[in-house]
């Protein structure tokens, strides 16, 4: 065979076989197949899951370093920095120490994969947030009722506090702990029926406002205890209408305003 692999055998093996040639013909030495080690076409589940987890954890760390960390990771406002976030997240994820011992998972952490992760999650949340339907079971004689956002399942219970303020205006309370408020009607996104997944997207504010719209003749005092997320909603509502909504407020505290005994004129200069 004069040092050659027979042509028929070589042709039958095709590209999977190392091609040997006679020395002196100007052809570069063949690369041994085992040295190429391409990324497998099919990634095992554990490797793909690790790459995804690294990207997700890295993005959570980035969000924690920014203002408004309680706002959802995929709040619509965060899409404004999408392109910069893709570059930042790719670099952050690639430096994760968990990838040091898993080359295949490291090779999956690419800018394209990060883009797909961010764009996919933003799109999914946008579909839910954009649903305008708010369900309720209120009627004219209700002393308690629930308002629920249809797509997310986020809901709150609105209750008559059986008490009036200093001027005879009824005081009501809002309870928004999801496990304490039974759902009404259909609930949740087809991919995720856990309402907690959608907190921090601004949906809760819409639920509170809808409840207040249904009872325009009452004032809304704080429930107890109030979660960190609910405090954020309360501050926003208090800022928009300080007389109707009780909330922690430096401006009010500095002026010694007693919310329970206040009149609308007490908030005339409220920022």
Least confident of 46-60, 123-137, 184-198, 228-242: 184-198
Question: What value does the mean pLDDT of the chain take?
Answer: 82
With cut-offs at 50, 70 and 90, classify the pLDDT of residue 140: confident
pLDDT of residue 5: 43
Please, are residues 197 and 245 in contact by the beta-carbon 8 Å criterion?
A: no
pTM: 0.72
Closest CA to 251 of 235, 270, 224, 230: 270
């Amino acid at each position: 065979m004069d040092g050659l692999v027979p042509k028929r055998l070589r042709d039958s093996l095709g590209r999977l076989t190392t091609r040997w040639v006679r020395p002196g013909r100007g052809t570069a030495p063949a690369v041994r197949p085992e040295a190429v080690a391409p990324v497998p076409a099919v990634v095992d589940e554990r490797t793909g899951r690790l790459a995804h987890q690294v990207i997700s954890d890295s993005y959570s760390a980035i969000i924690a370093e920014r203002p408004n960390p309680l706002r959802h990771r995929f709040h619509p406002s965060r899409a404004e920095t999408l392109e910069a976030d893709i570059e930042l997240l790719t670099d952050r994820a690639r430096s994760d120490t968990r990838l040091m011992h898993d080359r295949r998972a490291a090779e999956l952490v690419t800018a394209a994969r990060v883009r797909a992760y961010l764009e996919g999650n933003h799109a999914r949340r946008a579909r839910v947030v954009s649903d305008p339907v708010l369900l309720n079971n209120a009627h004219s004689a209700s002393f308690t009722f629930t308002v629920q956002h249809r797509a997310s399942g986020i809901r709150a219970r609105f209750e008559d506090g059986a008490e009036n303020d200093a001027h005879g205006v009824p005081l009501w309370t809002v309870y928004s702990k999801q496990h304490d408020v039974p759902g009404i009607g259909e609930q949740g996104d087809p991919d995720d029926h856990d309402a907690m997944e959608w907190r921090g997207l601004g949906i809760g504010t819409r639920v509170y406002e809808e409840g207040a719209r249904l009872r325009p003749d009452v004032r809304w005092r704080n429930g107890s205890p109030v979660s960190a997320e609910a405090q954020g909603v309360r501050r926003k509502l208090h800022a928009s209408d300080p007389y109707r909504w009780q909330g922690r407020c430096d401006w009010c505290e500095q002026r010694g305003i007693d919310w329970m005994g206040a009149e609308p004129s007490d908030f005339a200069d409220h920022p």
